[in-house]
Every structure is written in C-alpha cells, then in structure tokens.
Structure 1
Amino acid sequence: MAEQELPLRGLLIDLDGTVYHGHRMIDGADKLIRMLQDKQLPYLFVTNNSTATPGVVAERLQAMGIPAQAQDVCTSAQAAASYMADNHPNGRVFAIGEEGLQTALIEAGLQLVEENPDIVVQGMDREFTFSRMAQAVRFLLAGASYVLTNPDRLLPTAEGFMPGAGSLSAMLQAASGIEPTVIGKPSAILMDFALNKLGLKAEEAWVIGDNPMTDIAAGHAAGCKSVLVLTGLATPHNYQQLLEAAGCTADVVLEDLHSLHTYIGDKLASHQLTP
C-alpha cells in the first residue's frame, strides 16, 4: 500500500499477539520498547484484559524481558471504571470480574454492592456461576445500566482457546434483552481513555496491533492512525481478508516487530516523526 506521512507523538500498543504469545515474548518486542524509551517517545500498552491489575501485567512483561512499569499499562477495567465514575459518580456497582476489575472500581471511587446497584459491570470471570448470572439479570431487568469491559468471545491460552468476557455477556444479553455499553476494543472508549492518559489528541497517536477486528478497528473508531503487524492473528496470508472483514484499513502493514523498530527509527532519524 502507498505509505503516508503520519504525525506521531505517542503509541498505543496491543499486548497479546503483538508483544507476546501466552508467556513468550514475540521476537523484537524488548528492543522495540527500549528504543521507544531511548527516544523518549511516549507509549502505553493497551489491553482488553480486565482480569489483572496494571502492576500484574507489568510483572508478566518484565518476566519475559520486556521493560514495563504499572504506569505503562492501560486496561479495559481501568477505562470501564473511569467511564462509570464519570457517568455515575459514587455509583453503586454490581461487578462480575476478577482482581483487575475490582481494584479499578475501588480506585475510581465506586461502591461495590451486592444489592440495588446502579450499574452491572461485567468482565472476564473464571469463577462465574449461575447464581451470579441470575443476580445480574435481575438487576438489569430492574433498570441497572450494563457496562461490558470487553467483547472478546475467546481467549488464547497455552491449552487452547477459552471463553472470554464476550461469551459471558452473550448469556446476560440473551436472558435480559439488554445490550451493554462496550468499553474495550473495538470501542473507542478504551482508546480515548488511553489517549487522555498520554495527553495526546487522536491524530497524534498510532495504534499498533495484530488484530484488525479489535486493534485496527478501535484505532479507526478513535481517529488514530494504525499499524498492523503480522505477528499474531494477522499473517501475510490472511491480513487483507481480515481487514476487509473488519471494514477498515491499516495505514501501514509491517511483517514483524523488527520492521516496526526500523520504520519508527528511520522516521525519527529523518525528523518525519515529532515526539
């Protein structure tokens, strides 16, 4: 595709499939992040994962050899908590989710309750029960708002795929007839939250990711430029079909993280990028 000159002052970088696979770093991820740090180019790791706190995510990255601190990580749980705090200050929240979501809600000043909530927020919950589902449906039918951290229906694991937050949401939607406000990719809400953390406008940031349906579509929805790396879901053989299915285009398509490293480095050296 024809290359465009892309203004750049920061990066929103996907994790699974872009920086790592499971517990294995994708080749070149460590060198890419160190280069961004050396060049003082701001970035955030932006993930749909709502189960872990930013600190836990950073520790996982460090264990793979990728430089990371908690402040470098932006999760759908944080964005969901911020969204609810903005729209329901001190709101009463019935939460279906794990530590990452629970912690984000408390830090945002929201009240975790088991009865009469203003909002039902749902993320990934590996201890989800029928009883919990019945409670949530009852609250939704009584008028509580419904917020979904992320719509991912399947999650990759070392043992294969497992149901994700989107699969749990499918049950709640089928039972209640109520559609949620979606926070995570491909929604722009998570991207807007990350941009605000970086203090950047959408046109100043690139979204880096391997999944056209989530990463590239979210960048498009938020008004960011996007770089598709063929390191995960998208491959040299299927990326065009995936982009077509997602109904969007990537501004740049690169084979791997080494190519991305070189691309950014060359642009910085030629002053086409302005961090």
Structure 2
Amino acid sequence: MKYQTYLIDLDGTMYRGKDKIPEAKVFIDNLNNAGVDYYFLTNNTTKTPQQVADNLTNNHQITAKPQQILTPSLATAAYIQNMFGDDIKNHSAYVIGEYGLKSAVFNTGIKLNEVDPDVVIVGLDYDVTYHKFELATLAIKRGAFFIGTNADTNLPNERGLVPGAGSVISLVETSTQQKAHYIGKPEREIIDFAVKARNFDPKKAVMVGDNYNTDIQCGINAGVDTLWVNTGVSTHEDIDNAPIKPTHQVESLDQWDV
C-alpha cells in the first residue's frame, strides 16, 4: 500500500541522540522526492517544534519545518483547552518539565499555580528536584487532575538508554498512588490530535518507529498501520513475542519503498 501520510518517530528512528542514522536521511529524501506528506510524531517534550526542526535540519541534514513537528506538549495544550468548558484563563496548572512543555502549556493562557492548581502536568525535566516532586504530589493530593506527557521509561541516545519521562512520572504516581492520564505514545490521543491538527486520513497513514511499546503500540491503538525499524529500542525478539505484529518490518529505512 502507498501511504499518503507518514508519522515518524525521532529518537532511535531518525537519530540516536547526537549520532546520525544515515538511512533516515535517505528515507526522508525519498518521501520528499515522492511528494508524500510526513510529520515527526515524537514523545520528546523538552524542545519546541522550532528547536526540533532546527536539530533535524542542522545536525542531521533531514528536511523539517516546525509545523511538521507534533509533540505531547502540543497535544497536552490542546487537551487542557478542552478540559474546563469555560475560559482557560480562569484556570491554573503546575508543570514539571522543560521549556518545550511549559511554553506550549502556558501559551494557552492557563495560569501558573504551585499550590492548588486545577491540573498538574509532568514530563521529562533534566533538573527535576525533590521540591518539584513535593509540589506536584501535594497538588494532586488536593485534587488537581494529573496528566503525564508520555510513558517512555527510557530514551535512546549516543550514551545508551537513559531515563525518560515515564521514569519521572512514575515517581509522582507512586507518591500520589494515582495513575496519570497519559497523552503521548502509545496512547491514541496523540494520533487523534495529529489527525485533527493536520487534517489527514488515518486510514491512509502509517506510524514509523523503533519502539514497539510506544511507536508501534500507538499506531495499533489508533487503528493506523505501522512500520517497525530495527535501529533503536525494540529487538527482533521483542517483535516476535508481541501479541500484535507491526504491519511492516524493515532493518533500516532505506529499504522501504515509499
């Protein structure tokens, strides 16, 4: 099947941290040459779409524009805008996360509140402290709605598999004894957001990624075809043991006929 839209993971699929995956550039060049639409559907909430696009373009020579970057930060911002039924400026949030997440959330007009916010949003934070966890825990215990950006326990980079947002969120889940409402992959919510935001047919789209538990499971949950590439987290053994197999499998993306 020739797909009209590609939803493409970043870490482990387009690059590994600062390390290039040369076949990824070939794949994107092939999409451009074929005139096929593509978006980068990442669980990374630390950077803005502009920063993600700049990294792809400048450091990996992969053509990308900010409007092609879709993140849990953007999907979370869209989610909270529909949460309350009135003006979002009447409500408040506390956020653990980097600038990419905070800018998306607070650009909605929601106010910062560290004590008794309406919603607590937790994502990856490179400078997370006990005090931040304390504020989040107490706010959720007071009744704040608890959102987790994504459940990734680890991120693949040039050093190996480092802690991901899910590791940070799980600490708050443990301290509050509450499960977060997750937005990013593998939840279908982020693909539903992408479909609405970019107006494409999910039946003619394919989710591309290296991680069965996030990328591939996200496509399965959303009823979108999937393409697993063996360049990151999941192994052949993982795929062999998976109850639902990816629609397609390749060793590297230059093998894929767009």
- The number of residues matched between the two structures is 253
**Match for 1:251 among 217, 236, 247?**
247
Change (3 A) 1:247 1:98: same
Change (3 A) 1:109 1:42: farther
Contact 1:7/1:205 (CA < 8 Å) preserved in 2?
no
For residue 154 of structure 1, report the CA deviation from its aligned partner: 1.7
Identity fraction in percent:
33
Where do 1:155-194 residues align within 5 Å? 155-194=155-194
For residue 118 of structure 1, report the CA deviation from its aligned partner: 0.5
Contact 1:213/1:242 (CA < 8 Å) preserved in 2?
no
Contact 2:226/2:248 (CA < 8 Å) preserved in 1?
yes
Deviations 1:128-148 (CA, angstroms, capped at 9, x unpaired): 111111111111111110000
Q: Which residue of 1 aligns with 2:213?
A: 213
Does residue 1:27 correspond to 2:22, yes or no? Answer: yes
Q: Which amino acid aligns with 1:84?
A: I
Does residue 1:14 correspond to 2:9, yes or no? Answer: yes
Does residue 1:68 correspond to 2:64, yes or no? Answer: yes
Does residue 1:86 correspond to 2:120, yes or no? Answer: no
Where do 1:119-138 residues align within 5 Å? 119-138=119-138
Q: Which residue of 2 aligns with 1:225?
A: 225
Query: Aligned partners of 2:111 and 2:71: how far apart in 1?
Result: 20
Q: Which amino acid aligns with 2:129?
A: T
Query: Aligned partners of 2:99 and 2:137: how far apart in 1?
Result: 22
Q: Secondary structure at the match of 1:117?
A: coil
Query: Aligned partners of 2:12 and 2:161: how far apart in 1?
Result: 14
Q: Which amino acid aligns with 1:214?
A: T
TM-score (norm 2): 0.92
Does residue 1:202 correspond to 2:202, yes or no? Answer: yes
For residue 54 of structure 1, report the CA deviation from its aligned partner: 0.8
Contact 2:19/2:158 (CA < 8 Å) preserved in 1?
no
Query: Aligned partners of 2:153 and 2:8: how far apart in 1?
Result: 21
Where do 1:235-274 residues align within 5 Å? 238-239=235-236, 241-243=237-239, 245-260=241-256, 263-264=257-258
Q: Secondary structure at the match of 2:82?
A: helix
Q: Secondary structure at the match of 2:6?
A: strand
Deviations 1:7-56 (CA, angstroms, capped at 9, x unpaired): 62201001111111111221222232223223221110010011111111
Contact 1:155/1:164 (CA < 8 Å) preserved in 2?
yes
Query: Aligned partners of 1:32 and 1:103: how far apart in 2?
Result: 31
Deviations 1:183-210 (CA, angstroms, capped at 9, x unpaired): 1111111111122222123212100111
Q: Secondary structure at the match of 1:87?
A: coil
Query: Aligned partners of 1:160 and 1:55: how far apart in 2?
Result: 26
For residue 57 of structure 1, report the CA deviation from its aligned partner: 0.8
Contact 1:216/1:248 (CA < 8 Å) preserved in 2?
no
Q: Which amino acid aligns with 2:115?
A: E
TM-align CA RMSD: 1.6
Q: Which runs of 5+ in 1 are unaligned?
A: 1-5, 265-275
Q: Which amino acid aligns with 1:30?
A: K
Q: Secondary structure at the match of 1:11?
A: strand
Contact 1:18/1:232 (CA < 8 Å) preserved in 2?
yes
Deviations 1:67-90 (CA, angstroms, capped at 9, x unpaired): 111111111111111111111351
For residue 93 of structure 1, report the CA deviation from its aligned partner: 0.9
Query: Aligned partners of 1:159 and 1:178: how far apart in 2?
Result: 32
